[in-house]
Amino acid sequence: MLTYEGVDFYDIESQLSEDEIMVRDMVRDWVDEEVIPNIEEACREGHFPEEWGQALGEMGVLGMTIDEKYGCAGMSYVAYGLVCQELERGDSGLRSFASVQGSLAMFPISAFGSEEQKMHYLPKMASGEWVGCFGLTEPDYGSNPGDMITRAVEDGDDFVLNGAKMWITNGTVADVAIVWAKLDGVIRGFIVEKNDAGFSAPEMTGKHSLKASVTSELVFQDCRIPKNRILPDVKGLKGPFSCLNNARYGISWGAIGSAQACFHSAKEYTLSRIQFKHPIASYQLVQNKLAWMLREITKGQLLALHLGRKKDDGSWIPEQISLAKMNNVDMALEIARMARDMHGANGILDEYPIMRHMANLESVKTYEGTHDIHNLILGRWITGIQAFTRDL
Amino acid sequence: MPNIAVLVKRVPDTNAQILVSGDRVDLSNVKWVMSPYDEYALEAAMMHKEAQGGVVTAITLGAPECDKVLKDAKAIGVDRIIRVWDDSWSELDSNQTQMALTSAVKEISAEVVYCGKSAADTGAGSTGPGVAERLDWASASNIIGLEFEDSGIEVIVPAASGNARTGISLPAVVSCDKGFCKPRKPNVKGIMMAKRAQVEVLAAEIPASGINIVSHTPPPQKAPGQTFDGATNVPAVVAALRNDANVI
Ligand SMILES: Cc1cc2nc3c(=O)[nH]c(=O)nc-3n(C[C@H](O)[C@H](O)[C@H](O)COP(=O)(O)OP(=O)(O)OC[C@H]3O[C@@H](n4cnc5c(N)ncnc54)[C@H](O)[C@@H]3O)c2cc1C
């Protein structure tokens, strides 16, 4: 097998540091050796192989931008982006695992937790020993989490939580859940542990997308947790939204990985498939599609890299992340759909990765802020007028 | 506790397409990697350290672009990384290479040297035995098994019939085949260590070369294949396999 070299038309590699390239290649090799040969089976069985989580911990990519003091690597956001790209080239479910663990569960503890919380949770989460999840979405509140129903009340030395979360990645397998709930009407973050009384996390079934990722409900029925499990340093939507900024940033890279996998498959397939005496890649309509894919991937790469450097020097604004997440997932989904078409009937088989990527990207388009919610975020930035809601 | 050295070489990726332009191999567009057998040598060195303690030093020979293989070795966990080079050198022949590496091994007072059984580019296989000869040390080549004893090491090497288990006392040079261990992978922490690590550059005295490469030529092109369509061609295919290809 030829070593996978990625699509790099504009020599993005020349803009990466040696350690960024080493981290990318480490994950790239692992995905080639362990994930790609086994992913279809995992999807068919609808489970996320536990050993993949452990391998991510051993490689040290979980929460890899967090300080070394907490057992993490303190690496750049560009390196984190490259990891997301390679993981999602394998499967969006795998990248989702890493995003949730690093950006949605470990990040809030590192940014808003007490020193004791950081020392207690982060090293074990970095090593993959403890899995984390992030509970924001509720059955009735998706795009507008600000109206969430889940509540916490103080009771002696404890908080008591009631409510339900839905669509929670890793929920059933998580040891640690970061749960956003209202305390005296203000959104706060709470750390709920797997065995806390009154907490359960049944798995949701029947997904046609992200089949190799665990998605769950979180149910709180008088769930009692000690007072030291509140995240002390954040109040309001800023808490969950800062986590989402990090995860969305990772997705903007991850989508490039899916797009590269689909482009790669479409290129190989159309060069070898003969119709009307010649490889279909020799026909202008097909070349037009390949050229469009290369164009979109290249633009997406430049966007992600520049955003990554801005993340690293702190000069970014959330709207830039919205644009990158929206654009790159959109282009990846279109590339997946186009690649599916170019493979003809073969395109629906699990022998090729494209239909899986296509189905996965439908979720990626919706979670972490739907495509149109990001349009509304940009619309507000352009006009100064919010269009999320109005009086009817 | 043993002072362990491992020799690693930067070579074109074994999947890289090698082009010859003019009368020289053109390597300007290839991807470079650590020579695959050296990964096993590196693993053997790390296993030795785990078994008996000590220090592992990775040594390469080459210009600054070869630092990358040393950083790769550092990311795996070696303690020191050394590059042997002198800016007045260009391509070295086997004799010069062995002399330069021998001088680095002496400089760090290593007691055991691991290396790959051959490098993926030249395939010469002379470095391990050549360095052993110059050091006047024991030499074990193409090992496919390794155990650590108080008195030295025990290696398994292919023999005329089957394999031979051989005990060697140190100092020794051991050249490694693949398959007897799974080379460990780097992790992010190792990569961060590698980022901060300094490559030590050593000079060496080497003799003048008696070798002059006249030209490089690519291997002869494979003749194009033939295609036969339809069942009526079966006799022609059989005849070709029997008479031309001599396979049936
Ligand atoms: C596989 C998967 C995993 C997930 N993992 C997690 C997780 O780990 N944690 C978590 O908290 N959540 C998770 N989610 C939930 C995800 O974040 C939500 O699905 C998402 O925020 C959208 O919410 P919704 O599904 O309720 O859609 P809705 O908000 O009901 O949106 C439906 C449609 O209406 C549009 N819409 C909504 N409001 C407006 C408006 N004002 N103007 C115009 N259009 C609008 C949307 O763009 C969308 O097209 C996951 C979802 C999936 C599918």
pLDDT at B1 (0 to 100)? 83
In a domain, B112, yes or no: yes
* pLDDT beyond 90 at B177: yes
Report which protein residue has its CA nearest ligand 1's atom 30.
A142
In a domain, B216, yes or no: no
Report which protein residue has its CA nearest ligand 1's atom 40.
A388
Q: Supply the DSSP string of B184-217, one letter for each residue.
A: PPP-HHHHHHHHHPPPEEE----PPP--------
Q: Which atom of ligand 1 is nearest to the CA of A363?
A: 53
For A95, A318, A369, the CA distances from A374, given in Å and listed in that order, are 21, 10, 6
CB contact under 8 A, A22 and B189: no
CB contact under 8 A, A18 and B188: no
In a domain, B225, yes or no: no
pLDDT at A1 (0 to 100)? 43
Disruptive mutation site among B67, B191, B198, B199 for chain A (greatest number of A CBs within 10 Å): B191
CA distance B119 to B38: 8
In a domain, B223, yes or no: no
pLDDT at A371 (0 to 100)? 98
* pLDDT beyond 70 at A325: yes
Give the count of domains, chain B: 1
Which amino acid is it at B107?
E
Sheet holding B145-148, edge to edge: B145-148, B152-158, B163-169
Residue with the bigger pLDDT between A240 and B152: it is: A240
Nearest to A326, CA basis, from A390, A242, A232, A252: A252
In the predicted model, what is the mean pLDDT of chain B? 92
User: Which residues share a beta bridge with B79?
Assistant: none
For A165, A178, A201, A367, the CA distances from A162, given in Å and listed in that order, are 10, 14, 14, 24
Is there a contact between B124 and B93 (Cβ–Cβ < 8 Å)? no
pLDDT at A56 (0 to 100)? 98
Picking from A3, A18, A64, the nearest residue to B13 by CB comes out as A3
Chain B nearest C-alpha distance from A349 (Å): 28
- Per-residue pLDDT tens over the stretch A173-193: 999 999 999 999 999 999 999
CB contact under 8 A, B188 and A75: yes
Q: Which residues line ligand 1 (CB under 6 A)?
A: A 100, 134-137, 142-143, 167-169, 210, 215, 363, 366-367, 370, 372-373, 376, 388-389
Chain B contact set for A17 (CB, 8 A): 195
Q: How far is CA A262 from the centre of its chain?
A: 18
* pLDDT beyond 50 at A39: yes
CB contact under 8 A, B187 and A18: no
In a domain, B239, yes or no: no
Residue A137: which pLDDT band, with cuts at 50, 70 and 90?
A: very high
In a domain, B51, yes or no: yes
Q: How far is the CA of A369 from the centre of ligand 1 (A)?
A: 6
Specify the range with the lowest mean pLDDT, choosing from A23-37, A161-175, A334-348, B229-243.
Answer: B229-243
- Read off φ and ψ for residue A284, nearest 5 degrees: -60, -40
The percent of residues in chain B predicted with pLDDT above 90, rounded, is 66
Assign A36 to helix, strand or coil: coil
State the CATH number of the domain containing residue B179. Answer: 3.40.50.620
- Per-residue pLDDT tens over the stretch B123-175: 889 999 999 999 999 999 999 999 998 888 999 999 888 999 999 999 999 99
CA distance A240 to A385: 23
Residue A3: which pLDDT band, with cuts at 50, 70 and 90?
A: low
* pLDDT beyond 50 at B230: yes
Report which protein residue has its CA nearest ligand 1's atom 16.
A367
pLDDT at A105 (0 to 100)? 98
CB contact under 8 A, B71 and A18: yes
In a domain, B217, yes or no: no
CA distance A261 to A73: 28
First to last CA, chain A: 60
Is there a contact between A76 and A64 (Cβ–Cβ < 8 Å)? no
Residue A44: which pLDDT band, with cuts at 50, 70 and 90?
A: very high
Q: Is the ipTM value over 0.90, yes or no?
A: no
* pLDDT beyond 80 at A2: no
For B167, B224, B232, B237, B247, the CA distances from B241, given in Å and listed in that order, are 50, 15, 16, 6, 6
- Strand ranges in chain B using DSSP code E only, listed in sequence order: 3-7, 10-12, 19-21, 24-26, 32-34, 55-61, 80-84, 112-116, 138-143, 145-148, 152-158, 163-169, 172-176, 200-202
Which amino acid is it at A334?
E
- Per-residue pLDDT tens over the stretch A294-303: 999 999 999 9
State whether the Cα torsion A334-A336-A342-A347 is positive or negative. Answer: negative
Q: How far is the CA of A215 from the centre of ligand 1 (A)?
A: 14
* pLDDT beyond 90 at B213: no
- Per-residue pLDDT tens over the stretch B44-68: 999 999 999 999 999 999 999 999 9
In the predicted model, what is the mean pLDDT of chain A? 97
Nearest to A61, CA basis, from A37, A16, A26: A26
Domain with B22 in it: 3-202
In a domain, B248, yes or no: no
* pLDDT beyond 60 at B69: yes
Report which protein residue has its CA nearest ligand 1's atom 38.
A143
A 71-130 residues inside an 8 A Cβ radius of B: 73-75, 79
Average pLDDT of the residues in A17-25: 95
Is there a contact between A339 and A266 (Cβ–Cβ < 8 Å)? yes
